[in-house]
Amino acid sequence: MGKKVVVTGVPGVGKTTVINGAMERLAAEGVSYEPVNFGTFMFDVAKKENLVSNRDEMRKLGKDVQKRLQQAAASGIAAMSGDANIIVDTHSSVKTPTGFLAGLPEWVLRELMPDIVVLVETDPDQILMRRLGDESRTRDMEGSRAIAEHQEFNRAVAAAYAMYTGCTIKIVRNENFLLEQGIDDLVSVLR
């Protein structure tokens, strides 16, 4: 069985950046991982059903619709994983207009059964600045305090994922000017 690693973090913390750096490093060592973006799986279905025109609209959809898209993504990813090592870029929780939605509820965990859940974190002020600097996305405008609360909630809900699956929880810091350190940390759990 391949290793299943789920990488999470609030929008704009730099999950994808750290994953890409780690994949590059591991490829040079001959260790291969299949990268999977959970949001892309959801978006493909949502687009086909004309529910949204961009991926940032998905978290505003009704809770039951998001849960259905989640389920579809989880089954799609489980079907493709087989014996390969996979790294899933996703969210510990999603901030919706009606509150936090668990990114890995029971029906998703049952499909994925991760070995490790990684929480990518950094200081809320840095995340705020990264969001403001990223014009390619429609980010929620929220202050540092709300971002800090979201990161706290992500840790709390990740504890439940560990209880359910027996996975380990790894916290990777992705600080300004210290991206390489974050990549090193992620590589150490992927090797």
| Of residues 33 and 38, the one with the C-beta less far from ligand AP5 | 38
Q: Choose, by CB under 6 A, the member of 23, 86, 87, 89 that binds ligand AP5.
A: 89
Residues 95-124 that bind ligand AP5 (CB under 6 A): 103-104
Pairwise CA distance, residues 155 & 170, whole Å: 10
Examine residue 58 and tell whether it contacts ligand AP5 (CB under 6 A).
yes
- CA dihedral of 17, 23, 26, 31, whole degrees rounded to 10: 160
CB of 57 to ligand AP5, least distance (A): 8
76 is in an annotated binding site: no
Pattern 131-170, binding to ligand AP5, x per CB under 6 A? Answer: --xx--x---------------------------------
Pairwise CA distance, residues 124 & 143, whole Å: 8
Examine residue 39 and tell whether it contacts ligand AP5 (CB under 6 A).
yes
11 is in an annotated binding site: yes
97 is in an annotated binding site: no
| Of residues 42 and 167, the one with the C-beta less far from ligand AP5 | 42
CB of 60 to ligand AP5, least distance (A): 8
Pairwise CA distance, residues 125 & 39, whole Å: 25
* Angle subtended by helix axes 63-81 and 38-48, to nearest 10: 120
Cβ 9 vs Cβ 158: under 8 Å: no
Examine residue 15 and tell whether it contacts ligand AP5 (CB under 6 A).
yes
Mark the binding-site residues for ATP, compressed into ranges.
Answer: 9-17
Binding site for ligand AP5 (CB under 6 A): 9, 11-17, 38-39, 42, 55, 58-59, 66, 70, 89-91, 94, 103-104, 130, 133-134, 137, 174, 176, 179
